[in-house]
């Protein structure tokens, strides 16, 4: 056969010395970066005005004493007064318990949802998220109505013979925890559900094929792969709890006093902006320390193979 062909001539690159369009391309790149910065500048300015400046002012005020001069008295008070130590203790206690209960309730629920077929899982997720879209205040007061002495829960339980006397379920720790867990649950379920859905179903089949009974396969394979989602969710819940105000204020009935409530009373009752600011600063610093420690831990976790098969 004749090797006739109509292929194009090859090797038509320009000599190495001419670099075509170099200046124009560089200018385009610079303009693109400028445009990107220009687009994000409104957000940057907003953050500066509503976040950086107030937080800076908060810092400043916390170091001003009652006489208007520089002083550490606002911080000394926190260390010396027993009531303050108690408030921090309560804050951490409520946050830990809420996080723990959210994990105990949320993880199995997320597991259940993740095993459903897509359509049912979506419906399930919407029911989990529905309360999310209702006002926080409305939900908190709803619990007040349900849990009070003459409330729905007590009346039904007594008429069903579960207990004889009305049980005190609000204006104490129990009520606070019920309300907090209910409000925080979606924050835990969403990331856990996400990490569960990302697990390749073949992994569980493989474990079982290699000889692992269902429980063993769960702890060896499934659970470790949900750890990134679980720690992210638990961290989110814990940090949100640390600064929570409405629910403990309404359902705690003054018996569960958290840092945020002390900040409010410092301002509203005692008009002591310095003391309130110092509490705010401590809360902020604590949160940042927890986030920092956790982010190192979480990063290691995801390096060890987060989620995807």
Note the residues at the interface with another protein (CB under 8 A). Answer: 1, 200, 202-203, 205-214, 216-217, 220-221, 224-225, 304-309
Between 192 and 258, name the residue whose CB sits nearer to another protein: 192
Instruction: Name the token pair of 173.
Output: 């720790």
Between 135 and 302, name the residue whose CB sits nearer to another protein: 302
Q: Which of 25, 222, 221 is nearest to 114 (CA)?
A: 222
Q: How far is the CB of 10 from another protein (least distance, A)?
A: 19
The CA-atom distances, in angstroms, between 190 and each of 152, 241, 298 are 30, 17, 17
Between 293 and 304, name the residue whose CB sits nearer to another protein: 304
Between 3 and 43, name the residue whose CB sits nearer to another protein: 3
Q: How far is the CB of 117 from another protein (least distance, A)?
A: 14
Q: How far is the CB of 223 from another protein (least distance, A)?
A: 10
Helix 273-303 to helix 223-242 angle (10° resolution) is 170
Residue with tokens 């391309």: 25
Q: How far is the CB of 226 from another protein (least distance, A)?
A: 10
Q: Please state, in angstroms and rounded to a whole number, the distance separating the CA atoms of residues 12 and 61.
A: 71
Q: How far is the CB of 103 from another protein (least distance, A)?
A: 20
Q: Please state, in angstroms and rounded to a whole number, the distance separating the CA atoms of residues 110 and 199.
A: 13
Between 162 and 210, name the residue whose CB sits nearer to another protein: 210
Q: Please state, in angstroms and rounded to a whole number, the distance separating the CA atoms of residues 293 and 142.
A: 37
Whether residue 232 contacts residue 298, with contact meaning beta carbons closer than 8 Å, is answered with: yes
Between 31 and 210, name the residue whose CB sits nearer to another protein: 210
Between 64 and 203, name the residue whose CB sits nearer to another protein: 203
Classify 70 as helix, strand or coil: strand
Whether residue 229 contacts residue 149, with contact meaning beta carbons closer than 8 Å, is answered with: no
Q: How far is the CB of 216 from another protein (least distance, A)?
A: 7
Contacts of 59-63 spanning 24+ positions with Cβ under 8 A: 59/277, 59/281, 61/273, 61/274, 61/277, 62/274, 62/277, 62/278, 62/280, 62/281, 63/274
Q: What's the distance, CA 239 to chain centroid? A: 6
Instruction: Name the token pair of 240.
Output: 């949100």
Q: How far is the CB of 107 from another protein (least distance, A)?
A: 18
Between 73 and 301, name the residue whose CB sits nearer to another protein: 301
- Count the alpha carbons within 13 Å of 143 in the hemisphere toward its beta carbon: 29
Q: How far is the CB of 197 from another protein (least distance, A)?
A: 15
């Amino acid at each position: 056969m004749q090797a006739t062909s109509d292929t194009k001539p090859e090797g038509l690159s320009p000599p190495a010395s001419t670099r075509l369009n170099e200046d124009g391309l560089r200018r385009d790149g610079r303009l693109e970066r400028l445009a990107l910065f220009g687009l994000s500048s409104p957000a940057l300015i907003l953050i500066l005005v509503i976040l950086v400046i107030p937080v800076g002012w908060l810092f400043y005020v916390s170091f001003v004493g009652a006489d208007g001069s520089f002083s550490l008295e606002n911080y000394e008070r926190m260390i010396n007064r027993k009531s303050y130590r108690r408030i921090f203790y309560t804050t951490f206690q409520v946050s830990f318990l809420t996080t723990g209960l959210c994990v105990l309730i949320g993880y199995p629920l997320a597991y259940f949802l993740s095993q459903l077929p897509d359509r049912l899982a979506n419906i399930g997720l919407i029911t989990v998220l529905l309360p999310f879209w209702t006002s926080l205040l409305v939900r908190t007061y709803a619990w007040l109505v349900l849990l009070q002495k003459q409330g729905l829960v007590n009346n039904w339980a007594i008429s069903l013979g579960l207990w004889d006397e009305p049980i005190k379920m609000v204006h104490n720790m129990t009520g606070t925890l019920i309300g907090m867990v209910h409000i925080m649950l979606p924050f835990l379920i969403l990331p856990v559900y996400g990490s569960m859905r990302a697990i390749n179903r073949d992994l569980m089949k493989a474990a079982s094929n290699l000889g692992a009974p269902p429980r063993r396969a769960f702890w060896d394979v499934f659970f470790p792969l949900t750890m990134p989602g679980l720690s992210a969710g638990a961290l989110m819940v814990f940090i949100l709890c640390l600064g929570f105000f409405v629910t403990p204020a309404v359902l705690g009935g003054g018996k569960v006093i958290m840092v945020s409530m002390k900040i409010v009373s410092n301002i509203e009752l005692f008009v002591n902006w310095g003391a309130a600011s110092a509490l705010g600063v401590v809360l902020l610093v604590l949160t940042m320390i927890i986030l920092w420690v956790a982010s190192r831990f979480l990063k290691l976790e995801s390096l060890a193979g987060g989620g995807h098969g």
